Structure 1
Amino acid sequence: MDKLLAPSLGEDDPIYCGLALRKDLPFLAEMFGRLMGPMKTEILVYLEDGNWVSVYYRTVASGPDGDTPIKIESLLMFRFEQGLIAELISKIDSLALFEQLGQMPPDTLLGCFSGQRLTWK
């Protein structure tokens, strides 16, 4: 991954919806691989404007047990400097992912909009 990232993107610069840092990228890649199992990605929309690129994509996987289908859509934006990624903005539908993995109840977002509260065990 470091071969793709510009030196100006510091180790402590936020990525992944601002929840993780550049130095966390290897861990995030491993975590998503373990949670989702083997993945396939389809680019739905690709836009380029100067040194910015935006990609809207769908990822499907069979789940960690090979029997729990997962489908999420995400958005990535990159800014390039000399062919390397200098900025990375990532919006992944984590709530949908965790619902499909059974870590959140189905329709969690609808429940939140209704004013319901989640009770953690």
Structure 2
Amino acid sequence: MNGVELLKAWYERVWVQGDLSAIDDYFGISGAASGLMTDLAAELEDFRVLVPAVLHALRDVSCDILDSMEQGDRAWVRMRLNAKRAMDMKPVSISGQVMIRTKDGKICEAYNNFDFVSYFEQMGNLPPNTVALCLAGESLG
């Protein structure tokens, strides 16, 4: 399985199906994923908490790979995650990019960049047009 196929399988089994046992199949024991939260690299065990927490708020999750490329042990995808909010089934869509390095058929490094501001706006945690408000000097607090 190449890196792009590995990423597709990771998102399908772990994030779409919610299969926590699949985490070990795709993510190396010493692997780390950065970019999900500032100054925090998620490790193997962190996903066992993170995935159920996120999926608790979402239903009907799907992932679409929009673009991809691969070079040696590195793969990059531009993707879109689609779901519905659990509380009212309103659609949620978030775009992002993920770059991984693989070793022995597993993810050993991952660099994530997702539009979390848009996600939290859609989830009702931030006001609409948060970026525009902040760029105009408004305070959200």
TM-score (norm 2): 0.74
Give distance in 2, aligned partners of 1:56 and 1:38. 20
Q: Give every structure 1 segment of 4 or more consecutive aligned residues whose post-TM-superposition deviation is greater than 4 Å.
A: none
Q: Secondary structure at the match of 1:25?
A: helix
Amino acid at match of 2:97: L
The one of 17, 42, 45 aligned to 1:21: 42
- Between 17-26 and 97-106, the greater mean CA deviation after superposition: 17-26
Give distance in 1, aligned partners of 2:94 and 2:48. 20
Amino acid at match of 2:66: L
Alignment partner, residue 128 of structure 2: 106
The total of aligned residue pairs comes to: 116
In the TM superposition, 1:1-121 aligns within 5 A as 1-9=23-31, 13=32, 15=34, 16-17=36-37, 18-22=39-43, 23-119=45-141
Higher fraction of helix: 2
Shift, 1:66, TM fit: 4.6
Give distance in 1, aligned partners of 2:106 and 2:129. 39
Shift, 1:60, TM fit: 1.0
Higher fraction of strand: 2
1:15-71: per-residue Cα shift (whole Å, max 9, x none)?
324435213112211122122222011110111011100111111112112521101
Give distance in 2, aligned partners of 1:68 and 1:106. 15
Give distance in 2, aligned partners of 1:30 and 1:117. 31
**Structure 2: gaps (5+ residues):** 1-22
Amino acid at match of 1:21: A
Q: Secondary structure at the match of 2:57?
A: helix
- Between 56-65 and 43-52, the greater mean CA deviation after superposition: 56-65
The Cα RMSD (Å) is 1.6
Q: Secondary structure at the match of 2:131?
A: helix
Q: Indicate conservation of the 8 Å contact 1:62/1:70, yes or no.
A: yes
**Structure 1: gaps (5+ residues):** none
Give distance in 1, aligned partners of 2:65 and 2:127. 28
